[in-house]
Each structure stands twice: as C-alpha cells, then as structure tokens.
Amino acid sequence: MASNDEIRILTPSGMLGYGFPVDHFKMGLALKPHAITIDSGSTDSGPQKLGLGEMTCSREAYVKDIEVLLEAQHETKIPVLISSAGGDGTNLHVDAFRDIIAEIANKRGWHFKLASIYADIDKAHISRELRAGRVEPLGPVPPLDQREIDAATVVVAQMGAEPFLKALDESEGVDVIVSGRAYDPSPTAAMAIRAGFDPALAWHMGKIMECGALCAEPVGRNVMGYLRRDHFEIEPLNPAERCTTASVAAHTLYEKTHPFLLAGPGGTLDLSSCKYEQVTDRRVRVSGSRFEPAKHYTVKLEGAKTSGYRSIFIAGARDPIFIAQIDKILDGVLAGTRAYFAEVPEESYRIIPHLYGKNGVMGDLEPVKTPAHELCIIVEVAATTQALATAICGKARTSLMHSPYPGRIATAGNLASPFTPLEIPLGQACEFNVYHLMKIDSPTALFPIKYEEI
C-alpha cells in the first residue's frame, strides 16, 4: 500500500497490445510502484469492434503484453489493472482477456486472484432511462431513440473509478483486475483515491498517464507517475526521453473540447489554475488541479450497429491535365455510375470519394490550397449487400479509368492500380449509433464484478 506521502504508478504503454520495451518496464519495477495500470480501449479505431465483436489488436499481441505484466505481478505482488478489454470493453472481450490470463497462469504455474468487471448495459434498462428523460446526446449527435437501441449490436458504458475501488475493497487480495469499457484515467485514479490522495490530482495524473509516455519528447511507452499531497510528477522510463512543461501541458489538452474543463464520470476536472514546473531535465511537476463533483452522476454509453457492406478501389494519378480537372471528372463519373444503376434505390448505397494529395484528410476544411502533382484516389462504396457494393465500385473505377477530358493526350488509362482484386471488398460496415450520456443512481450498480482464483 502507498505511504501517506506518495503513491507511485507505472504505466508501460498507452495501449495494451501495442508492445512496450521490457527493459524500460523493468527499470520502472525497480522504482517499486504501488500499481501497474494500462488501458486497452478507444473509439479511435472506429465502430467495428463494437459492431462486429472484433478486438483492436491480435490475440497474439495481447498474450505477449499480458504475460510480461503477469510475470511482474508474480514477482513483485504489485496489482495490475487493465481497462477496456479488447478495445471496446464488451463482456465478450473481458472474458477473452480472462481466458488469456488463465492460459498464461496455467502455463507458468502462477496463482493469483482476478477480478473481472463487466460493462455491457442491458438494452431494456437504457430504454427505461430514455423514457424517463435520463439519456441525452453527447456532443453533436441526434437524440437517442428506441430504434437505435434495438439496432446496436451491444451497448457499453464507460465506468469511472468506483467499480475499481469496489473490486479492490470488496474482495481481499485482488491481484489483477480486467475491466470492461472504462474512462481511460479510471484505474490510475482509483488506486490514488483509494490511498487517500486528492481526487483532482488523481484524475489529472491518470489523464496524462493513460497514454503512457505520449507526454514525453520524443513520445514513448513506459512512464512513471509520483502522486503526493499537493502535486504529482511525471517522468518517462526511457533515458532517451524527457517530459517537459510543454509536452505535459500539451498532453493535458489531448482529446479535449475545452482547454480547462474535462468532464468525466462523476464530475469535471478544472485545470484553469494548473501549474507546470520543470523539476529535473526529464521530470515535470503539476499542481493546482481541481475536481468539481457533478450534480448528477452520468456515464457515456457507446453502441454501434452494422450498416451494410463496403468495397473500395485504390488508384494513383500522375497526369497534371487530369489532376487539374479531377473534381469535374469525378462528378461526371459518379453521376454516370448512378445513372447506370438507376434501378437501384439511391438510398440503398453511397459513393464516397477520397482524394489524398488534394484535401484528402481535411476536405473542405483544408486551409492550404496547393496544386498536387500526384493523387491517391480511393473510392468507397457502401451498399446493402457486398455484391452490390462491389458492382457499383467496379463501374465507378472503370468509368474513371477511361473517362475522356479536355486536353487528354494518352488513350490508355487515367489511373494506376496498385492492388488486385481491383475492387476490394471490405465486408460489413459499422457505424456508431449510441454516443450518449445516461444518468445513473449508483456508480457501481451497472458494472457487475466476478472474482476468481486463477
């Protein structure tokens, strides 16, 4: 357990399954941390995980990282907290992580107590809360309705620190926790709050550490946090990396819509009075964080649904005469493709071009307008069936390949195709359809915990 004056927490990476330098991790273990925390989740990689039950990384990658963590736990008896199992934090992936842990323990002859925290939310419960007016949009999304609840493959909620605290307190001697979907700083904050430290500093340190040493220059993996009574300090474990006031303050702004206020389960972190100090060449001290408890405790709901099938083609273009007219040419090609498939209802498919080299990343928001000398053209077709998506994609590709245009010199093709098949089927497409806040009466009631001896 932490002393009255300091708790040390080691985070080996910003994402379980991405790998991390084991030698730097062992340097962190030598500093005798009180806990190892690591996140495994994000919506950054899209809705496929929730929609189709996929994991962010391969099972082999998870096995490799988890074995290193369990070996450290076996040798040091430091608790290991893993959040948002599999990326989406569904019950399915909590159980997948549990099975990986059991397999490794059986192979290595290890014995420990595991707590599994689940985050799937019963759709009937969401429906009741929706009717009671306790569900609201999070950001610029439509209000939730029953059709979207029904359409979602599964809905999870981001848990706060309380389920982790319950798991640590309710069953004596828990060594490893695997949780479903969680607010990324929750495991780190829970360990610090349990040790009696200021929740504001606990949440802020967790916010910075959730991504490992992404707060360092250059960015890295392993990072150590030192939380004290009126401040915390952050330092990367790779000697070639350093935290600076700029890098740590910048990471505080990471994935935020407001420069000072960061809302999460149970309240808002107010960073308007924070102070960042360079205490060594590689370590930064942070103080002045404040936490404002919410009037009503809310959790974020996340859900995704399947929405048809996708096919794409990828092509390169180098002709400056073609490139100068690409918007007009593409408009004509897409109009011709839609006319060719006039018998297909237009609401049953979408054609979405992406022009990399010409505003492919920012689209109409791109402030820099410079002529491109080459383009990567990706045309995506989403349709109700894979066959229809591929057929429409093929028609668009061949039309663009041979489309005439003023000034055209070559009579062969306009495009270079780097891959075969020329039309690439991507399988089922998914989209987020539940991204809402729900008021809850208990921060632990919706997140059941299973304890077992492994």
Q: What is the pLDDT of residue 3?
A: 63
250's tokens? 């910048």
Residues 198 and 327 in one domain: no
Do 396 and 447 belong to one domain? Answer: no
Q: What percent of the chain has pLDDT over 90?
A: 90
Q: Does any domain span residue 98?
A: yes
Task: Note whether 327 and 230 are same-domain residues.
Answer: no
If asked whether residues 294 and 381 sit together in one domain, one would say no
Predicted pLDDT at 161: 98
pLDDT of residue 171: 81
Alpha helix (H) residue ranges in 210-353? 245-252, 320-324, 326-340
Q: Quick one: pLDDT at residue 277?
A: 98
Quick one: which H or E segment has residue 69?
helix 59-76
Q: Is residue 225 part of a domain?
A: yes
Question: Is residue 221 classed as helix, strand or coil in its secondary structure?
Answer: coil
Distance separating alpha carbons of residues 445 and 447, to the nearest angstrom? 6
Q: How far apart are CA 73 and CA 80, in angstroms?
A: 7
Average the pLDDT over 116-144 and give the result: 97
Residues 6+ apart with CB under 8 A from 287: 201, 230, 231, 232, 274, 275, 277
Backbone φ and ψ for 152, nearest 5 degrees, come out as: -65, 135
Judge whether 307 lies within some domain.
Answer: no
Residues 264 and 374 in one domain: no
The count of structural domains within the chain is 2
Q: Is residue 179 part of a domain?
A: yes
Q: 237 is in which domain, residue-wise? A: 7-302+434-453
**Distance from chain centroid for Cα 46:** 8
Residue 425 within a domain: no
Regarding whether 124 and 51 lie in a shared domain, the answer is yes
Residues 211, 283, single domain; the answer is: yes
Query: 255 pLDDT band (50/70/90 cuts)?
Result: confident
pLDDT reading at 205 higher than 80: yes
The answer as to whether 324 is a domain residue is yes
How far, in Å, are 355, 379, 381, 396, 430 from residue 352 at the CA level? 10, 6, 6, 11, 15
Q: What is the mean pLDDT of residues 34-53?
A: 94
Q: What is the pLDDT of residue 2?
A: 60
Residues 290, 439: one domain? Answer: yes
Residue 273 is which amino acid? Answer: S
E strand or H helix that includes residue 311: strand 298-317
**pLDDT, position 247:** 96
Average pLDDT, the chain: 95
Give the angle 220-223-229 at the CA atoms, nearest 5°. Answer: 145
Q: What confidence category does residue 310 fall into, taking pLDDT thresholds of 50, 70 and 90?
A: very high
Give residue-wise pLDDT tens across range 321-349. 999 999 999 999 999 999 999 999 999 99
Question: How far is the C-alpha of 155 from the C-alpha of 123, rounded, in Å?
Answer: 7
Q: What pLDDT score was predicted for residue 448?
A: 98
Residue 43's alpha-carbon distances to 159, 161, 182, 189, 307, in angstroms, are 15, 19, 12, 21, 17
In a domain, 328, yes or no: yes
Q: Is 220 helix (H, G, I), strand (E, B) or coil?
A: coil
250 and 364 in one domain?
Answer: no
With bands split at pLDDT 50, 70 and 90, how would you rate the model's confidence at 254? confident
Write the pLDDT tens digit of every residue in 361-392.
988 888 888 888 999 999 999 999 999 999 99
Q: Report yes or no on 13 lying in a domain.
A: yes
Q: What is the pLDDT of residues 391-429, one digit of tens each?
A: 999 999 999 999 999 999 878 899 999 999 999 999 999
Residues in contact with 131: Cβ distance below 8 Å, sequence separation at least 6, in sequence order: none
**pLDDT beyond 60 at 41:** yes
Could you tell me if 31 and 82 lie in one domain?
yes
By DSSP bridging, strand 154-157 and strand 176-179 are unpaired
Residues 242 and 218: their CA atoms lie apart, in Å, by 7
Give the span between the Cα atoms of 121 and 94, in whole angstroms.
14
149 C-beta neighbours (distance < 10 Å), count: 22
- Residues above pLDDT 70, as percent of the chain: 99
